[in-house]
Amino acid sequence: MRVIEFREALREAMSEEMRRDDKIFLMGEEVAEYNGAYKVSKGMLAEFGAKRVIDTPIAELGFAGIAVGAASNGLRPIVEFMTFNFSLVAIDQIINSAAKMYSMSGGQYNVPIVFRGPTASAGMLSSQHSQAFENWFANCPGLKVVVPSNPYDAKGLLKSAIRNNDPVIFMESEQMYGDKAEVPEEEYTIPIGLADIKREGTDVTIVSFGKIIKVAYAAAKELEAEGISVEIIDLRTVRPIDYETVINSVKKTNRLVVLEEAWPLASISTEIAFKVQKDAFDYLDAPILRITTADTPLPYAPTLIEASLPNVARVIKAVKEVMYVNK
């Protein structure tokens, strides 16, 4: 099977859907003439023209509002934010318009729109460009929130998001655009709301999503050398959450560590921990542990970034803590 980059998988998903349905269009800052800030939309202007690949001003509230209006009138926009940090400027349109339209219209108006772009940390970009807002958007009824961790999932999930009749928040990572993986050339989609067991294990379950799941893979490899078998679940979507897959895994391993790149308060890991202790408490042999970004704005200095973000050492420590709590 061929191997392509994360950015290529996203481009293929958008281009294939735009060829299939002429109601779909892409808009955002630098998506057209510049081929995208991260070259995700490279070549799309040449293929689809300026009416379907649209450069916008630096005015997220304005072009998000245009997209919501277009979606309410039968079109299917894909809105690219250069970073989801900038989506805060447009959050009124996302939360108060896109997410509410179907409910407030009594089901008369769907808003089939995808808001996509990079989330969380991406190196030395400091506090205003390094925030993970997955849990913010997942808190809002009316939205679906997708956070893929690899090119294969990214393509299949983005195609499903574009075809969905509800507004979908599709969150990527600047540090993953160059990641490579096998992606089939034939048509496929991945259902929104279905987690994936990326690594089978018997001793402890790690639940994660997005780029930070790479830390779980690295930790699992080191733990395997010490005789500890780790099962890794990639949520892939954080609204809706596939609780069933998580709970079934915990019933097998009896231990749970949740890893995410967000601040601890009201995080996805908090929600997962609550749901598991509620529905699978009798299966737990140790308290649930979570690993998050430090509860502070992300600093600029690389040493402080390393100390703030989840890392392999913290994951290994947490796994060993739940493994040996009663020994």
**Domains by residue range for the chain, with CATH:** 3-182 (3.40.50.970), 196-323 (3.40.50.920)
* 224 among known catalytic residues: no
Quote the pLDDT of residue 327.
Answer: 63
What is the C-alpha to C-alpha distance for residues 274 and 12, in angstroms, rounded to an integer? 38
List, in sequence order, the alpha helices (H) in the chain: 6-20, 44-48, 60-72, 91, 101-104, 134-138, 151-163, 213-224, 243-253, 268-279, 302-308, 312-323
Burial class (CB in 10 A: 0-12, 13-18, 19+), 327: exposed
Amino acid at site 303: T
What is the C-alpha to C-alpha distance for residues 262 and 213, in angstroms, rounded to an integer? 13
Burial class (CB in 10 A: 0-12, 13-18, 19+), 295: exposed
pTM, two decimals, is: 0.96
Quote the pLDDT of residue 257.
Answer: 98
Cα→Cα distances 321→141, 148, 199, 290, Å: 36, 28, 20, 12
Q: What are residue 191's phi and psi, to 5 degrees? A: -65, 140
* 17 among known catalytic residues: no
Pair 163, 14: CB distance under 8 Å: no
Which one from 5, 29, 80, 129 is the annotated catalytic residue?
129
Query: Considering the chain, what percentage of its residues have pLDDT values greater than 70?
Result: 99
Which one from 12, 17, 29, 60 is the annotated catalytic residue?
60
pLDDT of the chain, 327 residues: tens digit per residue: 899 999 999 999 999 999 999 999 999 999 999 999 999 999 999 999 999 999 999 999 999 999 999 999 999 999 999 999 999 999 999 999 999 999 999 999 999 999 999 998 888 888 888 899 999 999 999 999 999 999 999 999 999 999 999 999 999 999 999 999 999 999 999 999 999 999 999 999 999 999 999 999 999 999 999 999 999 999 999 999 999 999 999 999 999 999 999 999 999 999 999 999 999 999 999 999 999 999 999 999 999 999 999 999 999 999 999 998 766
**What does the block give as tokens for 281?**
């408490």
